[in-house]
Structure 1
């Protein structure tokens, strides 16, 4: 008998699923027809869709180009998550508008000049054993040769270091496998000193090079005093890569303009582009950074230029630490294989990628098997003897990323700028396996950890220079286009176009999200730029205003929903420093702070202390306020800076004669607010009771919210004491003010407490069926929540237990949702309409949605004790 029931049940379930699938299929076909979508489009959408609250597998750090910043987005969703302020001001984060971020930006001054823009190019993530460790991120500024270090514990830039000998640096930044050093290659040849040298002396006095920055991996700091530069000829060094495993300790930097042509179009000479691309090959620089680092420790082996150590070409050559290998014409990328055995170089004015064998290069070095020397005495290794193979890829090959099957199948991907393609090929056999068109003129590629010893494969991102017709017309300046490509199958599939509103986003790196462990809040009073407690840390009750001569220090706090102090009066000409601490402990309760018209701004994440210093150089009254919409009382979170001229004598304006409330009216107002507070406190106590009964302390996120709520609630007794004191004195106006303050604390307590309760309900409630989940979505998206709040009466009745209120309740409720107007004359419904002064509208729910909503109501009833 039971088997028959089971079979019938399966048939019923199959029928319901079939109906559901049929309904969904019909809706899907309708959408496809309306939008002109194909099955392939739907597959691509499904591969990138990330439901609300979902997480991405990979995090991408993309250069922000001329914004001077870094952009962060997720893969596969391609959702932009953040812009990181690096070399230029970023207002949302207060980057460049508070004291500490100004200090970081000031590190980027060049020869005393403040640089207000940057051109970020090549980000790099710190490595341990050749694999990304998720600790630090560095990036270069091509226009103003600088390197910045970003702490991935909070995604904030902590250091900027200026290259003292280069004038530009396209080829940075590249970590060595254990983050001992960062390689930064010069771009355009120029004198290493800061003196004038005519163009006629180009070959004699202009130079290129690679700076080898010592990196303190533990503390995330570049150590300039332990760093050095390798002098190189003015061949226009470009991108670099550090050797791995077999080639560990060596570095590889390519170049263009081995012709050393300097242009002169204004003199009637051929343009630069013609003269610097005559030769069939350029040079790959091969250097032993490990040996050179040791040599640089001896003062005899270095020249000091602009206070910086430079290892001359002849010293590097004499110590067998610098060599050249011819490479394809005008190359761009140089990429070492995960095992360090091969180096792949593409020539953008060639159609080939050349795969070099490290074993062959090392053999030539060991046997001093050279075909000659360049004009500067650097030994040249024969290209044919160094090469493993060459691959014919197409027009304009630029950059490479390795796939997860690099070891067995030689899996590698290369961008083709002219052909606007990504080509998949085997670098061991030099055979092409697949290619996909992109839109348009691709530059770099971003693989998932594709330049490490542990490439993940799965996806490739094409960083296209042009978008042309891909997006809505938004004027002559178009967005650029990052395109996500699925490389998991035999054939590559283009999944997603993401317009980039920053130009020109040059290169990106991707890391598994599981490797990143950023903070969600700071330890109370932290200065993020020192990692220590900020000297301006201020806790509740410690707020004060201190004058020292003509410098006024304001020690303040911010918390939902007030800034303390609220009135600050200073003299015209005073220097003012606001020290502000965010007292919040709940995640994502960030506050902002600005003083109107004074061009200062700070972002205060939970626990953070900031300093803002400015000169009170204009008389008047200036509101200051929280710039983040942080609570229901956000607009009330403000204060006033009053700047008076001490040389003036101010005459008070005649006070307006305000009509005063009678004692009876004041008493009524007092009684009303006290009653409101008592009622609100009952709600709070019921929430607290629920939280305790269900052991909120077991759930960390809920516990944090409860602690935050209790912190607000703990401020009430002091306010109540003051309210009672003024009530006893008969000063009802002040008593009402303090009772109102109690109400504000209660609102904030209830706000956080109810959020904690709702979150806890989800933790302890019985699991939802898939149908109930769909029902909750239909309930919320169908507008039902506008009138009905589960667990309490709102604009409409509480629906907890609604299925028990009528005979054959499920059928009755389903009919009412389907055609509510048919029951308007039902006595029960008529009484509801009269009470709430509302009629249930027809929301156009489908039969499937109604069934799911009924399942949701069943789940609500099962957990009625929780609401």
Structure 2
């Protein structure tokens, strides 16, 4: 009853908030609500998550992609999906796993010589400084194949994968220490550290758990495998971890299940594993001093080398007072350290309580050697009651926790109850609950596991969706639900289907902390951040052969790939170095060759390479896979593979139908005239840009530089054209003039974009009515005939209000709303005759028409810019 009362109270609160918004709303809003069956509460929730075009989110979420082996990136509060990041699995759009540079990263994840091309991404972590997210690095683990990957948040690319040499599975990764000195990765299912066979009967003697401390260099964003180590732990099946912060900095906490050390055996008549591993009332929370262990690992006397990796054995850790156990609720599934590091919350899946431990009590017990006993492996056990701050009863199936910016406030997921509970870990009082759909696992707060949680929202990562979305077959999407926690009562705002893998856990960061770059220094190998050996600039394109090894140094720029023809022998090993010469933002090119299973994504400035054996004879088109310009389809070439052992008999080539000298001269003159006219447009744009100080605006300046780079190539083509004319070869001259036109089109394309961008930057600010009028102008189809600033299929509308005297506004209004009544007006009749078109009735209402007139006033105010 209490659960339903809380939900009803939330609806009442939201309804009252919506009333004000609805009062101010237009009739259109009410009509939309009626048609779609929306309540006032729905509208308010929609408004809380809606981002108008061009408005960006406050937070960015990085979610694991589960069995897809990737990561997802989306924004909050909009819940708009922004990107997939290829991590442990090939990702074709970005060429991840298809170009040579990303293959090298992916192959770092090979295990015992075996290629592994899938992963089960689980727990992402953001790098920290003083316990606060710094927005530089992102790491994530692979549960299925114990590995950790590092992602650079300057370009959202995976830069490193490291394989754990001793663990055979792991769930508890990855967790940064508070200054990103180390990354904690804990094992899941106990197994021998070596790679040899050990019978299950030797489980207690030879199977082990462990926690790996990966040394991390936050300056370069790389794991230092040589200076990393693993702490041997009992075969209790370790689970999740968290690093201490603030007062508990230097310590790590890892919980576990199966302190019974049960191994199942259904096939031989034993009870199932799940029955035998839950007999004990408690399991063990592992508490270890990672700073002390890191010092111990520097001395070879304290470590054993297993599979080339340092391992600190339990007896060494115990002898040096660096490893302890505390009983915790049975089958726990997470341990979460409070923002100040003083409180440690653990929830047991089979317990209705959350247990809150207090670091100062734990530390006092450790310092005074006040132990309740030892486990079978000699590890000191602290008394649970003496370590606890207290317990709070939350509900069925408590799992994971996130902190808010309110002192003592914590949010916990209830898997069985399908609820989120808000409570206070200091007073141990429950404050609120909200229903979710369904069976929530992890939660994602806004920086909710850092020393500086932001509050505002919680995301419920639900395992089931059932009836929430359109039926797409028996494999349903999972459901991330955004919950507003800014008020006294939680309010579920929106559902987000996740159609990729099982998104296990997510972390969120303020968008303002992310500083991704939009282009690379020319010739960058983006996986190493160094200049690529295959960097190729314009004019350096070439094909080099060394025996049967062929290297192609190629460039891509709107709208051609150079070289456009490549001929190799069957059996050749071909390496193509591809450099994107663009300097404009977002001018990505892609590259693929028919039949050869290669693809590269080339962002501005990037150099990537593809490698293949030309083992198939034939002709294979290659092309730019990213629609990059008006001449995108023309951005292609041919790979021609011939068999050196085969004698080719050339067929008689069909001769091209030749023109008469007079026809060639006319074609040449026509092409030159077209180029002159196109150049006049370019020069008018250049004049406008210079007169309006384009160089003061970085975005416009970058576009101009890119346009002039294209324009600068015209002189050489003109020289070749003139030489052909002088030699009497007009056919070749026409071809060179056509190339000039291609460069002019590219120049004009970018130049006009630069002009449009500059106009928006320097024009007077639009009123709300003018902005609405521009939208109505576009959506009403007016732009199909009218182009502001020039005559098109209809007259230029700049100055249209002044053309019709004092009653100009009324004339325009009448003409928009009922144009057919004015077809006999002498002025209108003249326009109809000239353009051979009649103004159609677009059925604009009076408000839309008034707004369009306000837009036309704004156009007149800025007439010099169009």
> How far is the alpha carbon of 1:369 from its aligned partner?
1.1
- Please state if 1:356 is matched with 2:354: no
Paired with 1:416 and 1:539, the residues of 2 have a C-alpha distance of: 58
- Whole-Å separation in 2 of the counterparts to 1:540 and 1:220: 33
How far does residue 436 in structure 1 lie from its aligned partner after superposition? 0.6
Question: Shift in Å at residue 94 of structure 1?
Answer: 0.2
Which is further off, 268-277 or 412-421?
A: 268-277
Instruction: Give deviations 1:29-62, integer Å, cap 9, x for gaps.
Output: 1111111111111011000000101111111000
Partner of 2:165: 164
Structure 1 match to 2:33: 32
Q: 2:749 aligns with which of 748, 751, 756?
A: 751
Distance in 1 separating the partners of 2:728 and 2:619: 34
2:419 matched to which residue of 1? Answer: 421
3-state secondary structure, aligned to 1:51: coil
- Of the three residues 463, 468, 474, the one matched with 1:465 is 463
1:47-126 correspondence to structure 2 within 5 Å:
47-126=48-127
1:155-212 superposed Cα distances (whole Å, 9 cap, x missing partner): 1000000000011110000000000000000010011110001111111110001000
Alignment of 1:242-321 (within 5 A): 242-321=243-322
Rounded to whole Å, the distance in 1 between the matches of 2:656 and 2:513 is 64
Question: What displacement does 1:659 show?
Answer: 2.2
Equivalent residue runs for 1:400-439 within 5 Å: 400-406=401-407, 410-439=408-437
Give 3-state SS (helix, strand or coil) of 1:742's partner.
helix
Is 171-180 or 22-31 further displaced after alignment? 22-31
Q: Tell me the CA shift for residue 825 of structure 1.
A: 2.0
Q: 2:641 aligns with which of 630, 643, 650?
A: 643
Runs of 4+ in 1 over 4 A off after TM superposition: 20-24
CA distance in 1, matches of 2:335, 2:781: 56
In the comparison of the two structures, how many residue pairs are matched? 845
> Does 2:572 match 1:552?
no
TM-score (norm 1): 0.97
Aligned to 1:8: none
Q: Any idea what the Cα deviations from partners look like across 1:663-689, whole Å, max 9, x if unmatched?
A: 222111111111111001010000000
User: Match of 1:122, SS?
Assistant: strand
* 1:23 Cα deviation from its structure 2 partner: 9.9
Deviations 1:100-144 (A, max 9, x none): 111001100000000010000000010011100011000000000
Q: CA deviation at 1:279?
A: 1.1
* 1:337 counterpart residue number: 338
Structure 1, residues 355-408: CA drift from partner, whole Å, max 9, x if none? 0000111111111111111111111111111000101000111000000013xx
Structure 2 CA distance for aligned equivalents of residues 692 and 25 of structure 1: 44
Return the alpha-carbon distance in structure 2 between the equivalents of residues 781 and 192 of structure 1.
66
Contact 2:565 2:639 in 1 (8 A): yes
Shift of 1:767: 1.3
Q: Residue 391 of structure 1: SS of its match in structure 2?
A: strand
Deviation (angstroms), 1:838: 2.1
Partner of 1:819: 818
DSSP-derived class of the 2:544 partner? strand
Where do residues 693-842 of structure 1 align in structure 2 (5 Å cutoff)? 693-807=691-805, 808-842=807-841
Residue of structure 2 aligned with 1:593, choices 591, 594, 605: 591
Which deviates more, 797-806 or 625-634? 797-806
Matches of 2:277 and 2:830, distance apart in 1 = 88
Residue of structure 1 in register with 2:143 after alignment: 142
- Secondary structure (helix, strand or coil) at the match of 1:703 reads helix
Tell me how far apart the structure 2 counterparts of residues 324 and 28 of structure 1 sit (CA, whole Å). 60
Please report how far the alpha carbon of residue 497 of structure 1 lies from its aligned counterpart in structure 2 after TM superposition. 0.4
Does the 8 A contact of 2:370 with 2:382 survive in 1?
yes
Larger deviation: 801-810 or 606-615? 801-810
User: With structure 2 as the length reference, what TM-score do the two structures score?
Assistant: 0.97
Give distance in 2, aligned partners of 1:849 and 1:779: 9
Cα deviation, residue 22, structure 1: 8.5
Partner secondary structure for residue 578 of structure 1: strand
Q: CA–CA distance in 2 between the matches of 1:341 and 1:23?
A: 48
Task: Kindly state the Cα deviation for residue 21 of structure 1 after the two structures are TM-superposed.
Answer: 9.4
Q: 2:843 is matched with which residue?
A: 844
Q: Name stretches of at least 5 consecutive residues in structure 1 with no aligned partner.
A: 1-19
C-alpha contact (below 8 Å) 2:573/2:613 kept by paired residues: yes
Rounded Cα–Cα distance in structure 1 between residues aligned with 2:255 and 2:823:
80
Superposition map of 1:631-670 within 5 A = 631-670=629-668
Q: Please give the alpha-carbon distance, in whole angstroms, between the structure 2 residues aligned to 1:822 and 1:577.
A: 69
Q: Which runs of 5+ in 2 are unaligned?
A: 1-20
Residues in 1 aligned to 2:84 and 2:785: alpha-carbon distance in whole angstroms: 38
Asked if the contact 2:22–2:40 (Cα under 8 Å) also holds between the matched residues in 1, the reply is no
Report the secondary structure of 2:659's partner residue. Answer: coil
Partner of 2:484: 486
| SS in structure 2 of the partner of residue 229 of structure 1 | strand
Comparing 553-562 with 524-533, greater Cα deviation is found at: 524-533
CA distance in 2, matches of 1:80, 1:432: 33
Alignment of 1:13-32 (within 5 A): 25-32=26-33
Say if 2:857 is the partner of 1:853: no
Distance 1:144 1:639 in 2: 41
RMSD: 1.1
**Residues 748-774 of structure 1 deviation map (CA, whole Å, 9 limit, x = unaligned):** 101100010011011111111111111
Deviation at 1:831, TM superposition (A): 2.0
- Cα displacement string for residues 421-443 of structure 1 (whole angstroms, at most 9, x for unaligned residues): 11100000110001111111000
Cα distance in 2, alignment partners of residues 118 and 21 from structure 1: 48
Give, in whole Å, the separation in 2 of the partners of 1:427 and 1:333.
Answer: 15
